[in-house]
Chain A
Amino acid sequence: MKFKKIIYMLFIAISTSLVGCDEWLDVNKDPNNLSELTSPEAVMPVAQLAIGNALMGWDMGFAGALWSQYWTQDHTSSQFKFLDEYDETSFSTAYTNLVPFALNDLKAIKANSEVGSGHYLVAEALSIYTWQVITDTWGDIPYFEALKGDEGLFSPKFDSQEQIYADLLARVDALLEMNFSSADISDDYDFIYNGNVSAWVAFAKSLKLKLMLRLSETSGYNNAEVLAFAKEGGFITETAKISGEIWEPKDGKRHPMVEFDDAGYFDNVIASKTIIEFLNTNSDPRIGSLFTATSAGTYVGSIQGDFAYDGDTDGNGTADQDEEYSLVEFDNKSDLILMSTWEVNFYLAEVYARAGDSAAKSYYDAAVQASLDYWGVSGSVTGAGEYAEWPAGTVEENIKAIAMQKWVAYCKVQHIESFIERNRTKYPSVNAVEIKTPADRTDVYLNFPVGDFTISVAGLGKLSGNLPSSPIYPNAVITRNTNKPQQKTSLGQKVWWDQKSGK
């Protein structure tokens, strides 16, 4: 009898436990992460940092610098050889920074804030901005079906850059039509403009200008339309940047370039002869802000991509690999710039110049001055007789002058933008000189084509004497997306708007 009781009790115990089972099993909410977020804009700082980190971080910061011939690979190390060799590279870290880290969070802010609110403004403006960076860099890329992983769409279709641009322009127009007069932005979460709504509206306007002008070499480009928009004014007067004041001298809390410097990567980087000769020849006062002087107090660059040469190019008795070159040093108070005032003024100068409007000069002068001011150097380079004086020449000459100064102004702050803009304007031009033999080197050393690019010595054969045009698609996209196109076969594939002839 006693045992029957036990069985009876056991069955009661089992059935009670079954009833409570669902509750007992409900322990699957992750205690190590947040399950809910009450204020959607709390994800904004990550989105802003991700954009900044992409622009001047691992891929774009270094490739932008080497391909813009600011820096080159050091002779005794090897980390960035692949960039000077024009080996296929995909900028995958930057892509991940820009899409899941930045755009997906921006999308969530938009989805959870009212249309026309301040947070919507920031999220949409940065979203348009980021999409432009993405398509300017990689060309055709999934856009309309992107960011829909949470709806189960894992293989978004690729869209043409032309379609993407059309939509970005439509989006920026829609944004600019909204009334933000009563909007506000939580300054706790805005690293860029500290919650200043009108600054963000100006950013959106400047963004539209940037979008429009980027299509200058496409058939649909209408400079009159852009000029009309330029004349409306209302562009940024304060550089859109993540201030260098936020960095701390700790691992994971530094400016990205300082983080890489701390990890030893700047042992691989020396000044490129291309920019050094330009700045030296023209006695540009910014040189000391951009590069370190050698112990002799001079600025010395190495021929682009000539790290494998073990001879003595300058014939001074010291082999190239033992030569003391100018180096790059980043202060941990360096900013991360998304859009600069000089950038916008260069755009304006170009729009006016293309219209043959003499107002171009003042925008050009303002742009160059803004760059000098940014580096805190005294003096001027655009005055009468000075090297960067406004040429007031043909449209093409004026565009070239703007492009050359843009190239200098973007050094150390806007590398990928520099690369993209050179692809559009084709300035600085590429010199046809081929550096292969020691004699070639001596020749180039004695008669350096100041103001021109030379094809990287290590990359000479790779792109048939051309410069890189765009990175290939990230491996994560090309292997995981079932709607992928053919992977690009080299860095030579141009994006759609890159239509100007010449190298």
Chain B
Amino acid sequence: MKKIALMLLGIALFGVLVAEAQVKSITGTVTSAEDDMGIPGVSVSVKGTTIGTVTNLDGVYQLEVPSDAAILVFSFVGMKTQEIEIRGSEVNAVMEADLVGIDEVVVTAMGVSRQKKSIGYASTSVGGDEISEAKVVNPMNALQGKVAGVDISSAPGPGATQNVIIRGASSFGSNQPLYVIDGVPITNSQVTTGSALNNNVDFGSGLNAVNPDDIQNMTVLKGAAATALYGSRAANGVILITTKSGTNTDGQMKISYDGSVSMLRVGRIPERQDEFGQGWSGHHALDENGNWGPRYDGSDRVWGYVIDNSQQIKPYSFVESRIRDFYDFGLSHKNSVSASGGNENTTYFMSFSHNNVDGVMPEDVDTYKRSTLSTKGSHKWGKINLTSSVNYSNEKTKAVPSGQGSSVFRSLWEIPEDYSIVDLKDYKSKFNNLNNYFTPYGVNPYFSLFENGSEQVRHKVYGKVQADINITNELLLTYRFGADLESTNTEAWQAKIDIPTDAPSYNDQKNQPGNYSVNKRTRYETNHDAFLNYTKDLSEKLNLNALVGINFNQRGYTRVGGEVLALDVPGYYNLTNGLADPIASQYKMERRLFGAFGNVELGYDDYLYVTLTARNDWSSTLPAGENSYFYPGATASLVLSEMAKKMDMELGVIDFAKARVAYGWTGNDAAPYVIYPVFEKGYVGNPGYPNVDDLELPLNSINSWMISNQLGSPNLAPEITKEFEVGLEMNFFKNRIGFDFSYYNRLTDGLISNQPLDPTSGYTSIVSNIGDVRNKGIEALFFVSPVRTEDFEWKMSFNYSKNKNKVETLAEGEIFLGGFGGAGIVAVEGKEMGLFKTQVTQTVTIDGVEHIVVDGNGMPVATADEVVLEDKSVNEKFRAGFTNDFSYKNWSLAATFDLRYGGYIYSYQKDYMGWTGSGPETVYNNRQPFVIPNSVRLVNGEYVENDIPVASTDLHTFYSAGGFEQTDNFFIDRSYLKLRDIVLAYELPAGFAKRLGVAKIRASVVASNILLWTPKENQYIDPETTTFGNDISAKFGEFGANPTNQSYTFGLSVMF
């Protein structure tokens, strides 16, 4: 830190020295194009230097510049930045509002830049400033709530994955978009340990390696026409990331610093009942882990076991904030420095960043440390321009596993509500150690926290070299080689628990043999693109832009892992420390793709643009001879406002209008190794219960093989997405009001999925083109500036998206998409994707009245089979985002709300609180026996009215089974409204900054996810949380997830 400070000081002094050089004086006035009034506070600077000033109240400035200064830069928030050549001693500027950049240049497929008005599909770009301002670790978080049609949710835990789904899920497998950085696709695979139910840790995915401060711009390509050039990899949309480059600064070096400090705090903690305390079946019992005891009376009672003739004492009353008290405030800090510059021919950019996040778990058991290093350079030599980019990142993650067993989650909720949890922290003390821990049915959460764990180290290098050769003025040849290499080392361990049988807290099931696993994974992706770009003005009004190229892509993955399932010496985690030989496993994969593509764009008179796109792919994962697929696309864009202007029509209040239409195909080739039948190493399947292993060969030195239960799929074809899209953009009242509206209709044809088979066929599954899914919807963006004065501006933007999803055909009755044995989400023909399925309460209709069927104990009877709940799906009815942006002089304040309405989520938290009796609904009828209203019982084959009450002693069974509704009760409304972030920023006046020797200083305070509103039925979880991966399956819900976080960040950026 000291070194950085010294460096900054040095740089600051350097800036001052530069300012002392030989000078001349320039004056001028800056006015607004709108009303010709002078604009105060406009920053005026000499291009490529730190020399600058601001205009006064009348918009007048005076500036001493070096005698060789050539260009002045005028910039002001909300206005288009202008560069004006210095001619003489007076330079005036007319500033125009910059609300939507009509002449804005956007990045399109293959990294080709195009004018936004020529684009015939919806494309949303988010600038680097906005991404940087959000002070997030993962760049996708900065987009939350801001881009219509893009669903971004994140798992709790430092460094966890972002789940991104564009325009609704259309695949049963992966719905994650393709990430392309500077024209090169990167791998974004997630690494997890454990399973969704047990010892689950999410170590994040490849995109975590990107430092948000390095991003110049992110563009979301949503529709098939936009992404057709990426062919069989782009069915789920593409996120194009352009990183910052150096610019021509006449050799000057620009340095910027961005730093922040965040405080993290747990968000939602479930509401709990505060009437009944420790016990079971209505009786107080000191060794119980449930809240099924008598009503609190506040009296002092002994607790725990008698140890060394002593016992502890505490009041028998509800302890309100004990769960929140268990968590700490997390602390996160970031430092990011970049240096850039260049001259006419050469540019460079370098950055270094370091993030250090200590999450909300006590001490440092959940941490995320990331260092990134990026360099980018370009050099122009005659007709050749060479560009290179190399990025390195190192991430180290320590995480607390979630799920069942002796997880922290389970251990916490296995403590009755009258216990203070923090008082158990000394987990080695006499009363709190595992042998004497108050209950034999759980372990001390601090033991789980400090003794179990998981850790990952990831190294990632990605980048490219690119050569652009201007063969003629009209013909450009580009060759680009990109690579992404990633290696991870993941370790997970669970402590050995060996409680002597004579210890008070002994319970056979509590003992654990302990385990340790280590997995080394490497992934690589190499990508070659070569293309020719031809630009020609065919006539005065007709312009042609054509592109033709080829692409070679290769991806590989290897994993080597070892584990020991019973430890010898406690606390020593190494493959040599097992009671049996370590179990080794490996996996490797390689896939290749060759593509040829072309793109022709015709522009007529700056208002009509037509683009035709085509790509053909040959994929290694499809059957040989049947592996060639063609992906066409066509778009048209008509700039009505421009056309009207050319026809001399009066537009009135309309500033800009554009209509667009697009149609395109993209695809999704299969996963590797599903075409040919194989023999697997022999094993016999057992149910996947904890600690139950499949029977595995070799046995008695005899090894064996078996026909894989997965059938080969020799006729597999890629999944093809065909999408039609129309849109309209309009701006009014000098760009103060505007909207951008899209409608899309997308059919995913021949969806590839693992089709489960009736085992009677001899096989349990086949990967096949199982069905068709349609997604159609609208996306709307609306913005307005209600107030825009000299000093104050208020901007509002509102986005809305609604997607309707339907599984149109399905070969299989239903497809399991995610969940676990007992509750899941499925796809069913004719319905939306992701319907919940589980056992519900049996009902019977007698004389037109529906009755609940109960058993001989008065308890609801579950249906024999799981039932698809047609009115409960994971899909929200709509999503909306609302941003307010205020700026007053150098101050700005922005807040983004993120709303999701509709849909359901499974909550194990609720399920488990039913078992332990801490759920608020468990106090129904004061825990007195009750007859289930309107219930009937089957007696000798006939339904009779039920009069048997649910006994008090059965309540834990009743609620843990889901109460009146069985498991259906644990599917809760997933709607929410979040205050995603609120940002207050202040930028030092340029003059003052100059006196400090810097170009710009900006300080900000950001609060993220601080407010969460959910419907009344969800007082349990943040509905964004998941433990089920990062895809459609993730939408199923949570299985004992750790809570989500709020963060409060102070940020500082300095530009020299």
Contact = CB atoms under 8 A, between A and B. Distances in A.
A30 B711 contact: no
Contacts of B764: 96, 100, 476
Interface stretch (B457-465, B695-703, B880-888, B987-995): B695-703
Interface in B609-648: 618-621, 624, 627
B679 interface: yes
Contact of A99 (B592, B693, B760, B957): B760
A141 B761 CA distance: 12
Nearest to B566: A251
A49 to B, nearest CB: 5
Contacts of A260: 692
B428 interface: no
A247 B702 CA distance: 12
Interface of B is mostly: loop
Contacts of A148: 761-762
Interface residues of B, number: 92
A26 B624 contact: yes
A105 B672 CA distance: 25
B1035 to A, nearest CB: 21
A44 interface: yes
A259 B693 contact: yes
Q: Which of B550, B619, B684 has the most CB of A within 10 A?
A: B684
A53 interface: yes
Contacts of A265: 692
B706 A46 contact: yes
B718 to A, nearest CB: 14
B691 A252 contact: no
A101 B705 contact: no
A9 B762 CA distance: 54
A50 interface: yes
Nearest to A460: B856
A88 B864 contact: yes
Nearest to A480: B758
Interface stretch (B24-32, B35-43, B406-414, B936-944): B936-944
Contact of A6 (B469, B580, B624, B705): B469
B550 A30 contact: no
A90 B769 CA distance: 29
Interface in A31-66: 31-37, 42-47, 49-50, 53, 57-58
A28 B683 contact: no
Interface in A444-480: 458, 460-462, 464-465, 472, 474-480
A476 B758 contact: yes
Interface in A99-148: 99-101, 103-105, 107-108, 141-142, 146-148
A253 B699 contact: yes
Contacts of B679: 33-37, 43
Contact of A105 (B566, B706, B711, B866): B706
Given A25-B592, A25-B627, A308-B857, A45 B762 contact: no
B762 A22 contact: no
Interface in A56-85: 57-58, 78, 85
Contact of A27 (B383, B590, B689, B709): B590
Interface stretch (A149-157, A205-213, A402-410, A413-421): A149-157
Contacts of A47: 706
Contacts of A104: 707, 709, 762-763
B620 A28 contact: yes
Q: Which of B675, B762, B855, B857 has the most CB of A within 10 A?
A: B762
A19 B938 CA distance: 73
Contacts of A50: 684
Contact of A464 (B590, B758, B941): B941
Interface string A259-276: 110111101000000000
Nearest to A243: B700
A270 to B, nearest CB: 14
Contact of B704 (A17, A21, A26, A46): A46
A43 to B, nearest CB: 5
B588 interface: yes
A46 B700 CA distance: 13
B691 A263 contact: yes
Nearest to A310: B953
Contacts of A58: 686-687, 692
A96 B702 contact: no
A89 B694 CA distance: 21
B680 interface: yes
Interface string B798-839: 000000000000001110000000000000000000000000
A45 B702 contact: yes
B894 interface: no
A260 B692 CA distance: 6
Contacts of A49: 682, 684, 695, 697, 699
Interface in B537-561: 550, 552
A461 B865 contact: no
Given A25-B594, A25-B627, A480 B813 contact: yes
B711 A149 contact: yes
B587 A32 contact: yes
A231 interface: no
A28 B675 contact: yes
A93 B686 CA distance: 7
A43 B705 contact: yes
A263 B690 contact: yes
Contacts of B580: 250-251
B683 A149 contact: no
A101 B856 CA distance: 39
Contact of B621 (A28, A57, A105): A28
A107 B763 CA distance: 12
B967 to A, nearest CB: 14
A14 interface: yes
Contacts of A251: 565-566, 580, 693
A188 B620 CA distance: 38
Given A149-B711, A248-B699, A27 B592 contact: yes
Contacts of B680: 33-34
B901 interface: no
A312 to B, nearest CB: 15
Contact of A100 (B469, B589, B686, B762): B762
A93 B687 contact: yes
Interface stretch (A166-174, A292-300, A481-489): A481-489
Given A100-B762, A146-B761, A53 B684 contact: yes
Contacts of B756: 476, 480
A32 B589 CA distance: 8
A57 B686 contact: yes
Contact of A97 (B509, B685, B812): B685
Interface in B434-471: 469, 471
Given A105-B707, A149-B762, A46 B691 contact: no
Nearest to B941: A464
B626 to A, nearest CB: 12
B591 interface: yes
A291 to B, nearest CB: 18
Contacts of A42: 704-705
B762 A99 contact: yes
B628 to A, nearest CB: 10
A149 B707 CA distance: 12
Interface of B: 281, 383, 469, 471-472, 477, 508-509, 530, 532, 550, 552, 565-566, 580, 586-592, 594, 618-621, 624, 627, 672-673, 675-687, 689-697, 699-700, 702-709, 711, 756-764, 766, 812-814, 855-857, 862, 864-866, 937-941, 953-954, 957
8 contacts: A3-B383, A25-B592, A27-B672, A33-B673, A34-B679, A142-B758, A262-B691, A461-B855
Closest 9 CB pairs of A and B: A149-B761, A88-B864, A104-B762, A263-B691, A30-B673, A45-B704, A33-B678, A252-B693, A246-B700
Given A28-B672, A33-B708, 11 more contacts: A10-B530, A24-B592, A24-B594, A33-B678, A33-B681, A36-B679, A53-B686, A100-B759, A246-B699, A310-B281, A477-B759
